[in-house]
Structure 1
Amino acid sequence: MPEQHPTSPARTVGRRLRAPLAAVAAAAALSTLAACSAPGSDSGSGAAANTTPTAVSTAVGNTPATLTLFSAAGLETYEQGLADAFMAKYPKIKVKLRVEADNNYNTVLPRLLASDSTPDIVAPNDLLGGVKDNLLTNLDAYDKAYGWSDKVPASALAPGRVLSGVIGGGQLYQAGGSAGPLVGVFYNKELAAKVGMTKVPASVSELEAVMAKAKKSGITPIVASNQDGLIGHLYNLLLGDYMGADKLSDIVYHQTGATLDTPAAVQATETLQKWIKAGYFASDVNSVNQEASYGQFTGGKGLFFFQGSWITQTIDKTFKGRYGVFPMPPAEKNGPYAGMTSNTLAFSIAARSQHKDAAGLFLNFLTTPEAAKVAVKNGYAALTSGTASPAKPSLSGTLTEQIQTGYAAIAADNGFDSWLQNSAPAVGTKLTQQLQLLVSGKVEPAAMVKTLQTTYADALKSS
């Protein structure tokens, strides 16, 4: 993974979080969508900057068109795979990739969107800027025509919605399917067997009970790195559990009135502090970096590792077959699952596109099993409407099945959220500092939460 901290749905250089994980075939049947208007119409044709089309058509699969997809180089293979699968299904519509170097993508895109040679399909880093400058298409009519809101979890569509200059609600400007990494609980199979863990813990208290048993057996319960603040993965999972995914996302998306200074956030922080005081982390965790933590986990130095499925590419080299993963258990048994992810199947349609309906068909294709298979082949968990009733997470099955099951469980509970540090750069810096102080016993949970909230509020004022 090229970054220590995952990116938010508002992508940074490279456009999206590159989070490779082992592939698993995703299959589901979707109902055939009927045409919503006359065949062959194209809402983009003759409307170079029509930002809010209303009369859209879904019956364009047999109408010749050529779409341009603007791709960052790091995602060229993945997005070419999507294009090839789409063209196999709709051979009369061609999709050509225009590829730009990762470090130039975000700089070049706004100029392209404002030009007469705009690409049709893009994934802007600055969604708010694109909407403000009328460079992107309002997708509400396509959402209604194709029923995306019924097929894709609301929490996966939220990063593509804009209302009054705020992401998270309102009109849809970025859409597609749902695919991304699973952030959850990786476990050492051998050590899990030693402590008698035979099933996935169903709540935070059950997870804690397993850790207590591990500690009593002389096994370090949690491997982590906190020189770089990556205990933050676990902290974010706890925040999602206790606050609820929607409340955590409200902070990241700068929703009016969103605040971290709540009893639920304090409870999440108190839980982490309790685990620190119980000795569930190595005593030198504040001096351990991410690379070293990988070595500790694969070296059998601890039972659990709270991480994202992007780590499989790294740890499979020495640890393949010896570990598994399950989603973070809910705060209470039978409660909702929550977890951080970034949607790799979300795209926008340029306002100046001359083939909006064909582009809309491409975005709808991203909700199908064919697109899901491309996503998982390229290292992502993916789902379609056929995974609305997911299998229960378990310790059996392959790693890829566990990843897919965990991702689907979160999706079924509409529990996708983001990382607190993605709310503002200053929050990310302060969070690392506060987590280190929490580990060293120099800050109390309520004070830590207040400090983070103050940092967040100050960042919003200055932005």
Structure 2
Amino acid sequence: MRRHSYRRTALGLVVLAATLASACGGPGESGPQSTDTAAALTEKPTCGKEPVTMSAYFETGFPMPKALTDKFSAQFPNVKWEVREDQFAVITQNAPRVLADDPPDLMRLPQVSELVKDNLLKNLDGYAKVFGWDSWPASQLEQLRMKPGGGARGEGSLFAMGLNFSVTGVLYNKTLAERIGMTSAPTTLAEFDDALAKAKQANITPIVQFNGGATGGFAFPLQNLMASFGEPGPINDWIFQKPGATIDTLSNQKAAQHLADWIKAGYFDRDANAMDYAKMMSKFQAGEGLFMFNGDWESGNLDKQMPGKVGFFPFPAEKGDKVAAMSAPLTFGIAANAKHADCAAFFLDWVATNADAREIAVAVGGSHPMGPADAPMPEVKKGTVTAETLAAGAAISQDNGAMDFIANATGAIYAKSWTPQLQKLFAGEQTADGLLKSVQSDYEDQVGS
């Protein structure tokens, strides 16, 4: 990744062949994973004309999925939605049980590997074929692919979809930036470090970042530093569970030590380990921090709450010749035993191809819609956070340079390893070297290495 080159109307009810119906077995059975299902789909499924009540399990605090379901029901009045919402940490812990015991038609997914291994997600290959998803840019969907029955991610069958394609980086308060003489976004790690030091000297909190709860946010600056010191390929290999992959590399050791140095220098809030995501956002919007590592899903919100006062930039590399680009689909899946899988698939296709839905992805979600490479993009006002994050996401997609999130390596690695180890690092109870070794050990236990 180099700098500046870097994420229908038909309503006839389709009756699927008996092989598709029989494929919907329970967890642990082989039915839902069978690619024979694809052969049964010869037409694009729809939601039909009869009343349908869709069950959905969404993440609290993110308005885009609800905005999409509301617009969908406005266009297809026979479809209603029963939406349950929880914090991401709760979804992470509950996902296997919910998918097995009360399978939703559509669910926000924390990570797909273990869910695929346990036969809890529907294989979407048949839908991808009839809707044409396989013709979209490969980088949009590769993170959601896996061989049936388990194994490394990045190739194989499609088991999830995205409601949009997000990009993460650094959001900054333009007013506070002016106070320290920062007139443009840093383009090297040294320039970023200099801005942190100047903010500290000016009694401005350099970085407002949550690190409390079961899914802390220090993984964001850490991964950006990893890509600043090294290449994204080995990081993706580790996340995708490629054989022999390790997170404990020389470049990642430099990244973890740099994060430890920031902590020692007092560049974060003193109460970061007690801060949740909502409190972080409140502090940033109140002008209580210069920088915040976060994603484009806040673009629309910040353009509304702080118009013209916030900027965004991809985290710069150590030497400035490349940039970090943690970018991934906002992942949703269909339960293996979902009652209305066809309607859910039709909805996912609508999200990527309908003009109103793509407008919501940009205006509310602040990020790049999924879909064909030549699909029209909604107009965005120049100078907004949304415009800056969209430009970054489009360049990443074109360059095929996206990294998945290090918290997605296994179903338990975020809550049971990254977060507690990063909390210990912040509290002075763990070293940078010990952090990576502990996470790698947990990873090997979880993937059976």
Please report the TM-score for the alignment, with normalisation by the length of structure 2: 0.69
Picking from 13, 36, 48, the partner of 2:21 is 48
Q: Tell me what 1:262 maps to.
A: 249
- Asked if residue 383 in structure 1 is aligned to residue 369 in structure 2, the reply is yes
Distance between the aligned counterparts of 1:270 and 1:404, measured in 2? 31
- Asked if residue 370 in structure 1 is aligned to residue 356 in structure 2, the reply is yes
Picking from 222, 227, 234, the partner of 1:235 is 222
SS in 2 for 1:324: strand
Q: Tell me what 2:322 maps to.
A: 335
Cα distance change of structure 1 residues 304 and 410 upon mapping to structure 2, 3 Å threshold: same
* Sequence identity (%): 27
Distance between the aligned counterparts of 2:69 and 2:208, measured in 1? 40
1:343 CA drift (Å): 1.0
SS in 2 for 1:381: coil
Picking from 417, 430, 437, the partner of 1:427 is 417
Cα distance change of structure 1 residues 168 and 94 upon mapping to structure 2, 3 Å threshold: farther
Cα distance change of structure 1 residues 242 and 164 upon mapping to structure 2, 3 Å threshold: farther
1:193 CA drift (Å): 2.2
1:266 CA drift (Å): 1.1
Picking from 81, 90, 93, the partner of 1:97 is 81
1:403 CA drift (Å): 3.7
Distance between the aligned counterparts of 2:418 and 2:363, measured in 1? 32
SS in 2 for 1:365: helix
Distance between the aligned counterparts of 1:71 and 1:315, measured in 2? 27
What amino acid is aligned across from residue 441 of structure 2 in structure 1? T
1:262 CA drift (Å): 0.8
1:71 CA drift (Å): 0.9
Please report the TM-score for the alignment, with normalisation by the length of structure 1: 0.67
Q: Tell me what 1:183 maps to.
A: 168
Cα distance change of structure 1 residues 245 and 348 upon mapping to structure 2, 3 Å threshold: farther
Q: Tell me what 1:17 maps to.
A: none
Structure 1, gaps ≥5 residues long: 1-31, 33-38, 114-118
Distance between the aligned counterparts of 2:56 and 2:208, measured in 1? 36
Picking from 124, 131, 136, the partner of 1:151 is 136
Distance between the aligned counterparts of 1:202 and 1:386, measured in 2? 31
1:289 CA drift (Å): 3.5
- Asked if residue 72 in structure 1 is aligned to residue 72 in structure 2, the reply is no
Residues 410-441 of structure 1: per-residue CA shift (max 9 Å, x gap): 4444414214487423313442244225xx5x
Distance between the aligned counterparts of 1:351 and 1:84, measured in 2? 24
Residues 298-328 of structure 1: per-residue CA shift (max 9 Å, x gap): 5655432223456679989986653333332
Aligned length: 410
SS in 2 for 1:456: helix
1:186 CA drift (Å): 1.9
Q: How does 1:230-379 map to 2 (within 5 A)?
A: 230-276=217-263, 279=265, 281=267, 284=270, 289-290=275-276, 297=284, 300=287, 302-308=289-295, 321-339=308-326, 343-344=330-331, 346-348=332-334, 350=336, 356=342, 360-368=345-353, 369-376=355-362, 378-379=364-365
Distance between the aligned counterparts of 1:293 and 1:101, measured in 2? 20
1:259 CA drift (Å): 1.2
What amino acid is aligned across from residue 435 of structure 1 in structure 2? L
RMSD: 4.8
Structure 2, gaps ≥5 residues long: 1-7, 24-31
Residues 370-403 of structure 1: per-residue CA shift (max 9 Å, x gap): 3222334554523245778999xxx971233334
SS in 1 for 2:361: helix
